[in-house]
Amino acid sequence: MTTMAPLLDPDEPNPVMLENESGNSVFFLTCDHAGRVFPRRLGRLGLPEAETLRHIAWDIGIGGVGRELSRLLDAPVILQTYSRLVIDCNRDPKVPSSIPEISENTEIPGNRSLDETERAARVDAIFRPYHKAIGAALDRRAAADRVTALVALHSFTPVFKGVWRPWHVAVLFNRDPRLAHALAELLRAEGGLMVGENEPYRVSDLTDYTVPVHGERRGLPHVEIEIRQDLITDPAGQREWAERLARLLPSAYAAFLGR
Ligand SMILES: [Zn+2]
């Protein structure tokens, strides 16, 4: 059996940023695709820098929304530091697209023909510590009898493979649509927003990990939220969307409890 040095050196960024854990809110926020750091040992996976700034590398704007929403709700937020091209932290590592060889139309040279050891190094260094941290934080809340609703935050590119996406925001769900439906109703009532439900993506066990594992399996109320990236590229847009969600999420949760 071959063994490999750990992927990350001790001086490299931690894959997990857990902030405001003691916040009072029922909401627990996650940003699986917040970061776009590349481990030193992998270079940029053979990509020109411009590609690493695009949506294929990270969820543009969502870290800013997550942090501001955490502040406004007084909720914990957990953010992942490394580019999702290194390993997608919202996908089961057993699924081939967990480490994509191609993303949208871009080939990722550094992900081509990886062997099991190379894949395992990414799982061990990034995916596993991130999800272990989420699981441990949720365990601590359960042990303290704290009620939790999981909110998985993402952003999507306005144009994918040449096709324009009209939705401003979307709620995604799979087995339990309750909190998602409640939030969608409130988003629609804002006026002027095109609200997707399970489009342009839907939650599934093959394309998602955080909601199926930490929301569904624990029986926690949950919603996955997708915001279109051009709306949250700059801090003003991030603040606007954080303020909107800070206003609507508590009402959506109250409606969920009343159902
Ligand atoms: Zn995402």
In 3D, which of 32, 35, 30 has the Cα closest to residue 70? 30
Tell how far the Cα of 192 is from the centroid of ligand 1, in angstroms.
24
pLDDT of 3 reads 60
Ligand 1: centre distance to CA 143 (Å): 29
Distance in angstroms (rounded) separating the CA atoms of residues 131 and 209: 9
Express as a percent the part of the chain with pLDDT over 70.
Answer: 98
Contact 104, 165 (CB under 8 A): no
Using 50, 70 and 90 to split pLDDT, how confident is the model at 259?
confident
Q: What is the pLDDT of residues 60-103, one digit of tens each?
A: 999 999 999 999 999 999 999 999 999 999 999 999 999 999 99
CA–centroid distance, 129 to ligand 1, in Å, is 18
**Which pLDDT score, from 0 to 100, does residue 2 have?**
54
Q: Are 209 and 92 in contact (CB under 8 A)?
A: yes
Partnered with residue 151 across adjacent β-strands are 29, 223
Distance of alpha carbon 150 from its chain centroid, rounded?
11
* Spacing, Cα 59 to ligand 1 middle (Å): 5
**pLDDT 10s digits, 206-241:** 999 999 999 999 999 999 999 999 999 999 999 999
Q: What is the mean pLDDT of residues 49-58?
A: 96
Residue 20 has pLDDT above 80, yes or no: yes
For 110-124, what is each residue's pLDDT tens digit?
999 999 999 999 999
